[in-house]
Amino acid sequence: MLDAKVVQLLNEQINKELYSAYLYLDFSNYFYDKELNGFGNWYKIQAQEERDHAMLFLQYLQNNGEQIHLDAIAKPDVALTDNMTVLKAGLKHEVYVTGLIHTIYEAAYAVRDFRTMQFLDWFVKEQCEEENNADGLIKKFEMYGDDPRSLYMLDSEMAARVYTAPSLTL
């Protein structure tokens, strides 16, 4: 049986991951509206990943006999004013999610919940990758975003991304 505080945080994380998916769908729609379909694709795949992360947390709680509590998903509240604003909001959000994962990890560590800590290890690594990817998009856009030909090439690169389901086993 898991600690009540850890269970609460894991349940809250389900909602946060679903919000992340919702946020990235909003980003995706922004880019599709701008005819930057590659960037739209990139964020649509981000949304799929976040949805799968929510399902991993849900499955972990179910596997441990814990009750799931789903809350309403908030509407994204990021003002999408220009391309760079969207990219920077993505990085800011990933840093926020990293903090959430660390908070759960700290709570599990405090009660010596090694099973949950081991489960979270994958997410700690994943968040490092997510922050690096978001930062990389910003750097590429800073280098190439003002030049239409370069932006076209960068958008084509983003279009080549394909979805890969997480390989975490529970």
Predicted confidence (pLDDT) at residue 169 exceeds the cutoff of 70: no
94-131 pLDDT per residue, tens: 999 999 999 999 999 999 999 999 999 999 999 999 99
Question: 6-159 — its CATH code?
Answer: 1.20.1260.10
Helices assigned H by DSSP within 145-168: 148-159
7-60 pLDDT per residue, tens: 999 999 999 999 999 999 999 999 999 999 999 999 999 999 999 999 999 999
Burial group, residue 18, by CB count within 10 angstroms (0-12, 13-18, 19+): buried
Residue 112 DSSP label: T
Quote the pTM value: 0.93
The one-letter amino acid at 69:
H
Coil, strand or helix at 157: helix
Number of Cβ within 10 Å of residue 70's Cβ equals 11
DSSP 56-110: HHHHHHHHTTPPP---PPPPP-----SHHHHHHHHHHHHHHHHHHHHHHHHHHHH
Confidence of residue 170 (pLDDT cuts 50, 70, 90): low
What's the pLDDT at 1?
A: 83
Structure tokens at 93: 């959000």
